């Protein structure tokens, strides 16, 4: 949940700023340890990675995967002072679910590692609540509960035609595949194509362009702040929409040179969002912004000499100075010390403001 939204729900909450640059350093330290165990390490976020250990069995003398996982966990702690939890399985979907069971919590008996052995996938999925599946947000969970579906076995025991009538064809097909543990995505090293992204699944589907615009401003604010905190600049801006029927669409634009400023990233993102909305209108359940084509930021980077300086997607030195000044204020007073007006004034999710007259 974005901090701005949390503060609207709990105005008296104490906000502790996140030292993004320090987090970035620790993230890279953990990644370096993981690559000692396998060359195929895919970063999913600043604190989440997928490892493919296929072909390394002989290296670890064919020991059980659980032992290798504990070996990795110990190495990370020794090198960084941080503890990590590890989930092991035959697919990314199952591994992500397993890692939640691995986290040591009071009364759980977990020790930081949970492995789903080959052949036990169906038995493991039978213990999973639908709300634990990635992509099942509050609104969709309500629809499922209204249909009497709360756990994976409920879905698998329901005739597919009934699911399609209750949820729609796309959502029903997607959910059944998830509940069967089907995930064909591969773990691939993406260091050369790393990205910074944020996305928001709404408690209620958004239909208003104004509401989507406000959410877009907040998402851009967050990705741009993280971009600068990691000392990077981005060449490509992408926007992702997931419609009410689970159809996911996206659009991207690559800029003439790397950028760091909110204004430029937001102008590009707005253009992409408008393009997606013109192509297909309707309720939106998820909105995301991603920055790719990342490279080390150069404070003295050459600005474009040939493009029209009035173009919204061209960055000026004034843009960069302003962005860094805002970062300095947030570093001292917290990430919510300076926020765009559209974010500060936006209504709670699903609540529409009525204008007089």
Note whether 304 and 314 are within 8 A (CB): yes
C-alpha dihedral, 141 to 143 to 148 to 150, nearest 10°? -10
Neighbour-count burial of 118, counting CB atoms closer than 10 A to its CB (0-12 exposed, 13-18 middle, 19+ buried): exposed
How far from 234 is each of 14, 119, 189, 288, 309, CA to CA, in Å? Answer: 32, 43, 20, 16, 19
Q: Distance between CA 201 and CA 203 in Å, rounded?
A: 7
Strand partners, 295: 233
**Residue 64, by phi and psi: left (phi above 0), alpha (psi -120 to 50) or beta?**
beta
d(CA 35, CA 31): 6
Place of tokens 């670890």: 60
Contacts of 201 (CB under 8 A, 6+ apart): 135, 137, 138, 242, 285, 286
Alpha carbon distance 34, 75 (integer Å): 9
Beta-carbon contacts of 331 under 8 Å, excluding residues fewer than 6 positions away, are 17
Pick from 237, 276, 238, 275: nearest CA to 255: 237
Q: How far is CA 264 from CA 66, 97, 253, in A?
A: 47, 37, 12
Residues with catalytic function: 48
Task: Kindly give the interhelix angle for 262-279 and 209-229, rounded to the nearest 10 degrees.
Answer: 140
Q: Note whether 200 and 286 are within 8 A (CB).
A: yes
- Phi then psi dihedrals of residue 50, to 5 deg: -115, 135
């Amino acid at each position: 949940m974005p901090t701005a939204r949390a503060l609207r729900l709990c105005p008296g909450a104490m906000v502790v700023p996140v030292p993004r640059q320090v987090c970035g350093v620790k993230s890279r330290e953990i990644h370096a340890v993981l690559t000692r165990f396998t060359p195929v390490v895919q970063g999913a976020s600043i604190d989440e990675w997928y490892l493919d250990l296929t072909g390394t069995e002989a290296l670890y003398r064919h020991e059980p995967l659980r032992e290798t996982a504990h070996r990795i966990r110990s190495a990370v702690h020794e090198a960084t002072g941080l503890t990590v939890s590890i989930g092991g399985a035959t697919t990314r979907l199952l591994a992500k679910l397993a890692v939640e069971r691995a986290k040591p919590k009071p009364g759980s008996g977990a020790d930081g590692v949970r492995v789903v052995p080959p052949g036990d996938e169906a038995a493991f999925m039978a213990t999973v609540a639908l709300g634990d599946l990635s992509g099942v947000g509050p609104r969709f969970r309500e629809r499922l509960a209204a249909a009497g579906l709360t756990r994976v076995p409920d879905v698998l025991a329901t005739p597919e035609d009934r699911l399609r009538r209750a949820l729609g064809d796309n959502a029903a097909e997607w959910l059944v595949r998830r509940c069967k543990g089907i995930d064909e995505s591969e773990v691939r090293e993406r260091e050369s194509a790393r990205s910074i992204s944020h996305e928001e699944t709404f408690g209620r589907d958004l239909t208003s362009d104004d509401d989507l615009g406000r959410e877009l401003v907040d998402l851009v604010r967050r990705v741009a702040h993280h971009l600068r905190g990691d000392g990077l600049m981005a060449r490509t801006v992408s926007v992702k929409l997931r419609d009410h029927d689970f159809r996911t669409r996206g659009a991207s634009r690559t800029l003439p040179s790397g950028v760091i400023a909110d204004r430029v990233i937001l102008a590009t993102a707005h253009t992409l969002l408008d393009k997606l909305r013109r192509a297909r209108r309707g309720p939106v359940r998820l909105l995301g912004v991603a920055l790719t084509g990342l490279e080390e930021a150069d404070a003295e980077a050459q600005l474009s000499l040939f493009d029209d300086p009035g173009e919204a997607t061209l960055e000026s030195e004034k843009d960069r100075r302003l962005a860094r000044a805002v970062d300095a204020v947030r570093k001292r007073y917290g990430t919510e010390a300076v926020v765009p007006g559209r974010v500060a004034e936006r209504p709670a999710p699903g609540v529409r403001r009525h204008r007089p007259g």
